[in-house]
Amino acid sequence: MISRPRGTEDVLPEEVGKWYFIEEKARLLSWQYGYREIRTPIFEHTELFDRGVGDTTDIVEKEMYTFKDRSGRSLTLRPEGTAPVARAFLEHHLEAKGLPVKLFYLGPMFRYGRPQAGRLRQFHQFGVEAFGSPDPSLDAEVIDLAVAFLEAVGLKRFRLLLNSVGCPLCRGEHRERLLSYLIPLRERLCPTCRARLERNPLRIFDCKEESCQQVVASAPTITSSLCPECREHFHQVQGYLGLLGIDFVLEPRLVRGLDYYTRTAFELVVEEIGAQSAIGGGGRYDGLVELLGGKPIPGIGFALGLERVLLALEAQGGVPSRDLVLDVLVVQTSSLLKDKAVTLLKRLRAAGLKADRDYLDRSLKAQMKYANRYPARKVVILGEEEMSQGMAVVRDLASGVQETIPYDRIEEHILKAEEGDN
């Protein structure tokens, strides 16, 4: 028997209602905030991620699903959404219709990591990207949307960590201070950080290794080196978050260790889900569009991991779900009535009802059991005696109330009864 690849999940019919629920909330809220959906390909040219994610990141160094297609091009299953969305923004000249351009996406991402609880090789993200404004109130809006989504799906306890990583200007100065602190401690860093030290010292803040975490615990933070403009921007972001009533914790060691990330950086964490406690993160990337060959257009966004959101909801008492409850199951008591059952089913569905029937010619008792297990709200029982008078029995499974209704008017009757219920 062939099983699914390691680090992937099947979403079974019983679980898919949870996905509908959270995806629907993501779509509705995004629209409310003025973000429109964009769907980019699942694979892209490898170069997009080398440049757009950065070749000193774990993602690019160790985690990409890269392959050659039949004509020898190097392609990569997308490990994240920002670079593809920025690529599409540029490729289709979306700025021409007027800035800002506010986009969201929902879909699978692929990273070759070591699978564990909350870490998969195929996982799903809900993300937004807003291009074209450096305004700190937009930073606050993006954070507000992430927080509003978590609240809308029912998450009760989570923390928002906030920082500013400055701009290339303030980072230049910080880099020198950081290097003079780190170089004497080089031997205490993990091999990867040692190798990347000169190229990207900020990245060490991102490293999960215990030894590196100890080293950065007393390292000079970027926040203490912010230039006056970046400091003011950060101050204003905090002011707008205050206006919006959003609580946050300042976390000077929170960075996104890449050059094109600027100013606001944030992360959303839920302690209850264990080691992989980050359910989402985001920030400004004022240098990305230019890096990909466009004009210097600023951007800001976030990405939330939906499997981790579901894990967090389960840890906090359960996930609301949109389940398929059948409106009506058509039950026939004799195979002679099969044609009547088939045509009635078609009528019920045409009337907009969720309807089904038994396809195994089971006994009446077995069909009733099937209706309960489905679960269905009502059954229509076609019996020879009633049908000889053009009638059928409609039974409500919850109340047990049973009525005899003309066969020709069953859908009408059920629709009326549903209206009464609502």
Minimum CB distance to ligand AMP, residue 10 (Å)? 16
Q: What minimum distance in Å lies between the beta carbon of 366 and ligand AMP?
A: 42
299 binds ligand AMP (CB under 6 A): no
How far is residue 128's CA from residue 142's CA, in Å, rounded to a whole number?
A: 8
Which of 35, 49, 123, 131 lies at the binding interface for ligand AMP (CB under 6 A)? 123
Please name the residue ranges forming H helices in 189-260.
191-196, 210-216, 228-243
119 contributes a contact to ligand AMP by CB under 6 A: yes
Distance CA 385, CA 393 (A): 11
Pick 124 or 377: Cβ nearer ligand AMP:
124
Q: Considering the rule CB under 6 A, would residue 301 count as an interface residue with ligand AMP?
A: no
The size of the chain, in residues, is: 422
Residue 121 structure tokens: 């090789």
- Report the nearest approach of ligand AMP to the CB of residue 59 (Å): 7
Minimal distance, residue 82 CB to ligand AMP, in Å: 8
Q: Which is nearer to ligand AMP, 170 or 309 (CB)?
A: 309
Q: How far apart are CA 108 and CA 94, in angstroms?
A: 24
Residue nearest ligand AMP, Cβ-based: 305
- The amino acid sitting at 88 is A
Give the strand order in the sheet containing 249-250: 36-37, 101-110, 122-131, 299-305, 278-284, 262-269, 159-164, 249-250
As measured in angstroms, the least distance from the Cβ of 281 to ligand AMP is 4
125 binding ligand AMP? (CB under 6 A)? yes
If the CB atoms of residues 166 and 301 are measured against ligand AMP, the closer one turns out to be 301
At closest approach, how far in Å is the CB of 349 from ligand AMP? 38
Q: Does the bond joining 375 to the residue before it have cis omega, within 30 degrees of 0?
A: yes
Applying the rule CB under 6 A, the residues between 275 and 294 that interact with ligand AMP are: 278-281
Q: Which residues of 70-85 are buried (b: 16+ CB within 10 A; e: fewer)?
A: eeeeebbbbbbbbbbb
Strand partners, 396: 378
Q: Which of 193, 273, 305, 379 binds ligand AMP (CB under 6 A)?
A: 305
In whole angstroms, how close is the CB of 16 to ligand AMP at the nearest point?
18
Q: Which helix (H) or strand (E) holds 146?
A: helix 136-152
Q: Which stretch binds ligand AMP (CB under 6 A): 66-74, 286-294, 302-310, 386-394?
A: 302-310
Of the candidates 260, 255, 165, 270, the residue with the CA atom closest to the CA atom of residue 206: 255
Which stretch in 141-149, 165-173, 212-220, 303-311 sits in contact with ligand AMP by CB under 6 A? Answer: 303-311
Residue closer to ligand AMP, measured from CB, 84 or 280: 280
**DSSP readout, 401-417?**
-EEEEEGGGHHHHHHHH
Which residue type is seen at 68? Answer: K
- Would you count residue 303 as binding ligand AMP (CB under 6 A)? yes
Minimum distance between the CB of residue 303 and ligand AMP, rounded to whole angstroms? 4
Closest CA to 50 of 83, 72, 82, 73: 83
**3-state SS class at 387:** helix
- Distance in Å, CB of 74 to ligand AMP, minimum: 21
Residue nearer to ligand AMP on the CB measure, 128 or 368:
128
Name which of residues 66 to 85 contact ligand AMP (CB under 6 A).
80
Size of the site for ligand AMP (CB under 6 A): 16
Cβ distance to ligand AMP smaller for residue 125 or 333: 125
Window of 134-142, 154-162, 299-307, 311-319 that interacts with ligand AMP by CB under 6 A: 299-307
**254 exposure class (CB count in 10 Å sphere: 0-12, 13-18, 19+):** buried
Q: Which of 265, 299, 259 is nearest to 90 (CA)?
A: 299
Q: Segment contacting ligand AMP (CB under 6 A): 31-39, 67-75, 118-126, 146-154?
A: 118-126
Closer to ligand AMP by Cβ: residue 118 or 132: 118
Residue showing tokens 């985690």 = 63
Nearer to ligand AMP by C-beta: 38 or 303? 303
Q: How many CA atoms lie within 13 A of 121 on its CB side?
A: 15
Structure tokens belonging to residue 147: 């927080």
Residues that bind ligand AMP (CB under 6 A): 80, 111, 113, 118-120, 123, 125, 278-281, 303, 305, 307-308
